Amino acid sequence: MAQSKALLVLENFIGGKFIPCSSYIDSYNPSTGDVYCKVPDSGKEEVEAAVKAAKDAFPIWSSKSPWERSQILNKLADLIEHDLEAFAQAESKDQGKTITFARTVDIPRTVYNFRFFASSILHHITECTEMATMGCVHYTSRAPVGVAGLISPWNLPLYLLTWKIAPAIACGNTVVAKPSEMTSVTAWMMCKLLEKAGVPDGVVNIVFGTGAKAGEALVCHPDVPLVSFTGSTLTAQRITEKSAPHCKRLSLELGGKNPAIIFDDADLSQCIPTTLRSSFANQGEICLCTSRIFVQRGIYSEFLKRFVAEAKKWKTGNPSDPTVDVGALISKEHLEKVRNYVKKAQAEGARVLCGEGVDALDLPPGNQKGYFMLPTVIAEVKDESCCMQEEIFGPVTCVVAFDTEEEVIKRANGVKYGLAATVWSSNVGRVHRVAHRLQSGLVWTNCWLVRDLNLPFGGMKASGIGREGAKDSYEFFTEVKTITIKH
């Protein structure tokens, strides 16, 4: 572990070796506001070296059987699981999330990503048809594409990075990955385990740095035929523009402005705790978080009263305290952005019922300069308000009343995003009806964030292009060829 003035100094991982960089970016501990890590500020030169290493490794890796690749993925999963506590501590410190969330969600899901794709790669089948009258048999074959460029965000750092790396390498591709410059430590830690897992040099390359420099160099590289990106819609627009001249294959998983629709026959004893989680888990920094809650008028007052009372019980503080529910937001700038949304809502005449600007934030002495915010509930917000239209990505949710099913479907669909939605009702016919009409890539009814990785994940409208999952990721990370044999 390289140290400089007690700061952690990361290095790029290219061709199986850690390589120092000529310049570095400060990375902050969100819970204290202190610089604790130096991250390489990579650019064209480093990306060029990483792409070359990935290209050189491709022939050998792509010629391995799915079974051989599967064994290596499972070994890597075992090694990460063995160090689960160290990874969880690092993720919590680097991102600001609670240690409990890192221990129970981020790192276990990272392990499962590798195990899942290690298994699924063994079970895909190709198609075959016969045209007896023509004396022909047609069949399909699938082959890895080449070097995959993978760009992952800061909210679920290793979880979302490995959700891309695992299927890419399982399919026989090699990768150049760029994690967020704000949350790079766990990716760097994982690199230390690759050789022991049996991953050949150059199969997984990690280049650290900003989107503007390292990310752009990766997206523009002519030898990177496919790019998988999770992050903001704005960045995705730039990736699309930069990829167009090369006709690259893109998978874009973007933002959401996710509605929860709560009908008057909902079981509030289940609905309220789950909707609190869907609003405030991971400080509301999950693309699937609920930020618009539509409650049928008959139960609106009761729901609001109970929801606010429970939100006030959520404990905000030092992420390393296992009793804390809400950790720190990712950065000072992001905290200000989220706070400004609350100020705009107040200026528009909305009511802030708890949290930001209403309740006192009581932090331990060591966390006074951290980027903390209380769970915040806003009521009486107009649908056209920026708080109801734009992704806030923080511990803020808006609660509004509705009267009819027809009305709420129209209002729920009235944003540019279409990632996820939740529907709460005990009427089976209604949940099916509403689910079909919502413009969302995922609809949960009477639950939230229950995932089967076999099934497609992704959004409609400005929430993205393409899907991820067992079959979808396999199709994205492979090229299909139709072969016809006349006999």
Q: pLDDT per residue over 420-438, tens digit each?
A: 999 999 999 999 999 999 9
Q: pLDDT per residue over 96-129, tens digit each?
A: 999 999 999 999 999 999 999 999 999 999 999 9
Please compute the mean of the pLDDT values over residues 83-100 and round it to a whole number: 98
Residue of 216, 253, 285, 391 marked active site: 253
The C-alpha atoms of residue 426 and residue 476 are separated, in whole angstroms, by 37
Please compute the mean of the pLDDT values over residues 404-422 and round it to a whole number: 98
pLDDT score at 1 = 41
The C-alpha atoms of residue 361 and residue 366 are separated, in whole angstroms, by 14
Phi and psi for 421 in degrees, rounded to 5?
-150, 155
pLDDT score at 487 = 87
Domains of the chain: 8-254+463-486 (3.40.605.10), 258-445 (3.40.309.10)
Q: pLDDT per residue over 254-282, tens digit each?
A: 999 999 999 999 999 999 999 999 999 99
Q: pLDDT per residue over 126-146, tens digit each?
A: 999 999 999 999 999 999 999
Write the CA distances from 274 to 190, 271, 282, 311, 346, integer angstroms: 32, 5, 14, 12, 26
Instruction: Show the CA angle centred on residue 31, arms to residues 30 and 37, nearest 5°.
Output: 50
Q: Is 450 exposed, middle or buried (0-12, 13-18, 19+ CB in 10 A)?
A: exposed
Q: pLDDT per residue over 427-480, tens digit each?
A: 999 999 999 999 999 999 999 999 999 999 999 999 999 999 999 999 999 999
Q: How many CB atoms lie within 10 A of CB 119?
A: 14
pLDDT score at 83 = 98
- For 463, residues 6+ apart whose C-beta sits below 8 A from its C-beta are 233, 253, 254, 255, 256, 287, 417, 418, 419, 441
Q: pLDDT per residue over 326-344, tens digit each?
A: 999 999 999 999 999 999 9
For tokens 């022909």, what's the residue?
136
Write the CA distances from 132 to 139, 377, 482, integer angstroms: 14, 66, 17
Please compute the mean of the pLDDT values over residues 366-374 and round it to a whole number: 98
pLDDT score at 2 = 43
Q: pLDDT per residue over 59-74, tens digit each?
A: 999 999 999 999 999 9
For tokens 């300069």, what's the residue?
369
pLDDT score at 241 = 97
The three-class DSSP label of residue 148 is strand
Would residue 266 be called left, alpha or beta, if left means φ above 0 and alpha means ψ between -120 and 50 degrees? Answer: beta
pLDDT score at 5 = 55
Phi and psi for 36 in degrees, rounded to 5?
-130, 0
pLDDT score at 398 = 98
Amino acid making up residue 469: G
pLDDT score at 179 = 98
- In this prediction, residue 6 has a pLDDT band, given cuts at 50, 70 and 90, of confident
Q: pLDDT per residue over 231-257, tens digit each?
A: 999 999 999 999 999 999 999 999 999
Please compute the mean of the pLDDT values over residues 304-309 and round it to a whole number: 98
pLDDT over threshold 80, residue 322: yes
SS3 content of the chain, % helix, strand, coil (to 5): 40, 25, 35
pLDDT over threshold 80, residue 4: no
Query: Does the annotation mark 253 as catalytic?
Result: yes
Q: Please list the residues that pair with 140 across neighbouring strands.
A: 482
What DSSP line would sit under 54-92, residue for residue? Answer: HHHHHHHHHHS-HHHHHHHHHHHHHHHHHTHHHHHHHHH
pLDDT score at 193 = 98
Please compute the mean of the pLDDT values over residues 347-367 and round it to a whole number: 97
pLDDT over threshold 70, residue 178: yes
- CA proximity to 101, closest of 346, 322, 427, 341: 322
Instruction: Show the CA angle centred on residue 154, arms to residues 149 and 156, nearest 5°.
Output: 95
pLDDT score at 41 = 98
pLDDT over threshold 80, residue 94: yes
Residue 268's Cβ-side half-sphere holds a number of Cα atoms within 13 Å equal to: 16
Contact 411, 383 (CB under 8 A): yes
The three-class DSSP label of residue 233 is helix
pLDDT score at 421 = 98
